[in-house]
Amino acid sequence: MEKTRKRRNSGRVTLQDVAKYAGVGSMTVSRALRTPEMVSDKLREKIERAIQELGYIPNGAAGVLASGQSNIIAVLVPSLTDRASATFIQSLQQVLNKHSFQVLLGCHEYNRNKEAEIIMTLLQSNAAALVIFGSQLADKIYNNISHINIPIINVAGSHRQQTTINIETDFSAAAYTLTEHMLSKGRKHIGYIGAQMDNRLQNQQINGWNKAMLHHYQNADQNITTPDAASMQFGCQAIAEMLLRQPELEGVICSHEVIALGVMFECQRRLLKIPADLAVACLEGSDNCDHTQPTLTSIRIDYPKIGKDTGKWLVKLLNKQGEDEPEYQNNQYHLFSYKFEPRQSI
């Protein structure tokens, strides 16, 4: 029996190649892959041996077209390295793995001009659902995808969009709450340091800080921001510049934990005591804040829980898909989740 490993035109082993190698028809191979219980053990073993020998990889897209079902969940995130995206994806994947769904990931690295292109590429996979994390897409993009009859879940993004489920995180309210907390401790001159400020959602933080300061009749003119990624180096540089501008600075709100750590290191270098000389707090903190000295006051957004909840909603929606074929875009749920834990550093 002649062994054919690859087709010359595509370089991929096809189902027909497997059938020819096993000495059976293409329909028999297809049946063995889709409904193995309908093929005899002897024939199935023969086909499996041919698949292994040839290195055949089934065409998932063709399988979706044949069955009308997909196990792919398309997920768009702004970054693969920031803590929020990483913890959300990990928790979401853990839930979906238990139900035989696979995540197809797209990342735009905070480039809003790439979001639409990546979403359309993801949807070409015949995804069963789309999850958009931490984005505030233009209305035009949402209009383009609103006609697709699959669940669309908008996580920590704009609540104005008409998606199946909106899991909201009010960054403005979080920043307002944290600034209010610092003001209640007697601090008046409070600055704001923020990164990734080309992201409209990130801008909600500075708006919340500004609102709290003005509500207490305090000047909200001490802020340093950057469109670049958050880093400890930026935190060190920003607090040095802010102290030069306003030596009487009493506190600082940081958009990210890593920026706050940079601020703390610079304060230690300058022999400034925290919180006696300068109160430091951050938004989107993690449990790492509990292990600094002194502990770092922070807003805690429970992204692992949000990831698990998103996975559960997806499984629930997709399991109902075959029952009544719901018009997903007309079924909206609104959830709000963030956790505030004041610490003793202020």
Please give the average per-residue pLDDT across 233-261, as a whole number.
96
Put simply, whether the predicted model's pTM sits higher than 0.75 gets the answer no
Fold for the domain defined by 15-58: 434 Repressor (Amino-terminal Domain) (1.10.260)
What is the share, in percent, of the chain residues with pLDDT greater than 70? 82
- Domain boundaries along the sequence of the chain: 15-58, 70-170+304-338, 171-300
CATH 3.40.640.10 fits 171-300, yes or no: no
pLDDT grade for 16, boundaries at 50, 70 and 90: confident
SS3 state of residue 35: coil
Burial class (CB in 10 A: 0-12, 13-18, 19+), 103: middle
Any idea how long the chain is? 346
Identity of residue 333: Y
Say yes or no: do domains 15-58 and 70-170+304-338 share a fold: no
| pLDDT, average across residues 308-323 | 80
pLDDT of 331: 36
Higher pLDDT, 251 or 46: 251
Give 60's pLDDT tier (boundaries 50, 70, 90): low
Q: Is 341's pLDDT higher than 70?
A: no
Over range 320-332, report the average pLDDT: 42
pLDDT in tens, 76-134: 998 888 888 999 999 999 999 999 899 999 998 877 778 888 988 888 888 899 999 98
pLDDT of 52 above 50: yes
Distance between CA atoms of residues 70 and 99, nearest Å: 12
Q: At what angle do helices 26-34 and 60-67 cross, to 10 degrees?
A: 80
Q: Domain 70-170+304-338 falls in which CATH fold?
A: Rossmann fold (3.40.50)
Instruction: Give the angle 206-207-209 at the CA atoms, nearest 5°.
Output: 65
Q: Is 113 exposed, middle or buried (0-12, 13-18, 19+ CB in 10 A)?
A: exposed
